[in-house]
Structure 1
Amino acid sequence: MFVLELTYTAPVTDVDQHLQAHVDWLDQHYADGTFIASGRKNPRDGGIILAAGDDRARIEKIAAADPFTVAGVCAYRITEFTATKTAPELAAYKQELPA
């Protein structure tokens, strides 16, 4: 599982010019089952995305295709973690520690 932290590198007015394309990109990855949750940080200086999977290269490729990244208005910090405990509603995403 991954936490993708976006930090805006441009004024929010510049970010907003690419917001609809970013939302469309999010929708695509919700539809394919990669994204679990997302939203703006407070204060609004970026956002957070929770992504399922264990292929870091794939997640990095997805982040590189974000319209915000392509437009140069954000930077990503990607943190991989093993979700060994989940709420019952997220049990499908529970992972075992590597042997």
Structure 2
Amino acid sequence: MFEPAGETTAQVKPPEEILVQEIDLSYAIVPWSAKLREGAALREKFGDRAGIRCYPEEDLGIFWSNDPRIPVEKMIRSLGLAEADEELRRIRDLYRRAGVPGY
């Protein structure tokens, strides 16, 4: 089983034949940020209510909410952070306004 960052999170190896794995289909991919501190900031604020997998070598983390009352997007925004796609749009807009060719 692969997560959105391409990392293997679970697999079946012989002689096993069946894999049972719980997954959360609502997640946030967040680019590297000093403010996030490789997930520590989210863990400090939300404890076990936040699921965290950080990949420093990829400069990103995957986060999810274990609390049905708090969506992961709200957790991320509470730290002043944005998901990867939002951040990419923001940076492209900055490049476009700065006149960088191709943006």
TM-score relative to the length of structure 1: 0.41
Which protein has greater RCO, CA pairs closer than 8 Å, 6+ apart?
Answer: 1
Which structure carries more strand by proportion?
Answer: 1
TM-score by length of 2: 0.40
Larger radius of gyration: 2
